Chain A
Amino acid sequence: MARYDSVIDAVGGTPLVGLPRLSPSPAVRLWAKLEDRNPTGSIKDRPALAMVAEAESSGLLRPGCTVIEPTSGNTGISLAMVCRVKGYRLICVMPENTSEERRLLLRAYGAQIISSPAAGGSNAAVALAKQLAADHPDWVMLYQYGNPVNALAHYSTTGPEVLADLPTITHFVAGLGTTGTLMGVGRFLREKVPDIAIVAAEPRYGELVYGLRNLDEGFVPELYDPSVLTSRFSVGPEDAVRRTRELLEVEGIFAGISTGAILHAALGIAAKIVREGGAEARADIAFVVCDGGWKYLSTGVYEAGDDAAAAEGLEGQLWA
């Protein structure tokens, strides 16, 4: 069915498409879950909608409420859409030197932005949002890094969709940020396909992003449960950019840069399966396209001369 009562009813139900040219063989296949087909163009529409709906049903969110959330981008944009439709005020806490495109999009949806110090990146945004929520008890912080409903949204929608479209799935690969996608989809698929591999692709940023004053300032999302994962790969900007461009050039899929990191991990797994399994090798590897490339055009990665030059445009950025 393609008719919905409102835009928020159109969240989810995204296509799963094959990658016939990037898959290493007809029996070792890659499948892309196109989450850019959600209303605001990213996978974050799912947890944003679910967290707001749960806060409403529990009585935490009431008409006229203010919602506050630490975010570097997509979750804020998704929440801004949901809050616009439902009539809530939204405040996003973001690092002060966040790119102008994000701010313009958030403002277009009617969100307010409070800046956190550049030093410390998202860690500082999380800390400031927690402080502001404590100072304003009437504000509601949904807190994507620790809200179980974030993972639950994927457990109850993304996971079942992937399995329904690919009952022969052997591997699921997604990005590791709040960890909500991997925790939710991973738990669902493990229940249904016990020997499935759940693989995390974690972006490895430039040094500025890791500029903590001491190790105890580190941060692990409260949602993270490593027992859900089979393996976890760190992917640097050059590999992420190379794969983002390859996905566009070879398969015609225009994705954001974090998707390139995820594809890099998926292709690494596929190559290993072929190497070790020979003619008998078979696998169905599903991976997540988190968002489209629109918000990253200004980084220049889609038009730079080579992958190294493209990756340079990402230095110092939280590109996933």
Chain B
Amino acid sequence: MSVSVSVPTILRPVTKGEKTVTAEGSTLSEVITDLDSRYSGLGDRLVKNGALHRFVNIYVNDEDVRFTGGLETAIAAGDEVTILPAVAGGDNSATVAGGAPTSMRD
């Protein structure tokens, strides 16, 4: 089963700069193993001591896998897997985190 995996900037040095990669597997764990076989070191960045790295969030079709079975989350063909680092979000505001504030662009 082939799925697309979105890779955050911070991990792209490992995926040779690729922003989206494809992988095979029927569980998230198998997907990560498959990715690691082609992008050496990726597995160690995502998984520590058999569990997801504390500051890594992975979503399958936008749902956090920590609530759907973790590394054993089932994966179906066509699913979209998104990897993101855990960051401090906002507190309901529109802060600009990079570039000029939108309100000042015009």
* Residues of A near any B CB (own CB < 8 A): 42-44, 71-76, 94-95, 97-102, 118-119, 121-123, 125-126, 144-145, 175-178, 200, 202-221, 226, 229-236, 256-258, 290-291, 295-296, 298-300, 313-320
Contacts and interface: CB of A to CB of B under 8 A. Distances in A.
B98 A203 contact: no
A217 B87 CA distance: 8
Interface in B38-68: 45, 53-57, 59, 62-64, 66-68
Nearest to A312: B102
Given A97-B99, A97-B100, A219-B55, A214 B10 contact: yes
B70 to A, nearest CB: 11
Contact of B87 (A74, A200, A210): A210
A234 B101 contact: no
Contact of A218 (B66, B86, B102): B86
Interface stretch (B20-28, B71-79, B88-96): B88-96
Interface residues of B, number: 38
27 contacts: A94-B95, A97-B99, A98-B96, A100-B101, A123-B87, A123-B88, A145-B88, A175-B92, A177-B90, A200-B64, A202-B64, A203-B90, A204-B82, A209-B87, A214-B10, A215-B45, A216-B55, A218-B85, A219-B55, A230-B67, A233-B59, A234-B57, A236-B62, A256-B92, A313-B102, A314-B102, A318-B93
A231 B9 CA distance: 26
Interface of B: 8-10, 45, 53-57, 59, 62-64, 66-68, 82, 84-104
A175 B92 CA distance: 9
A144 B85 contact: no
Contacts of B97: 95, 97, 118, 121-122, 205, 208-209, 211, 316-318
Nearest to B55: A218
B67 A122 contact: no
Contacts of A95: 95-97
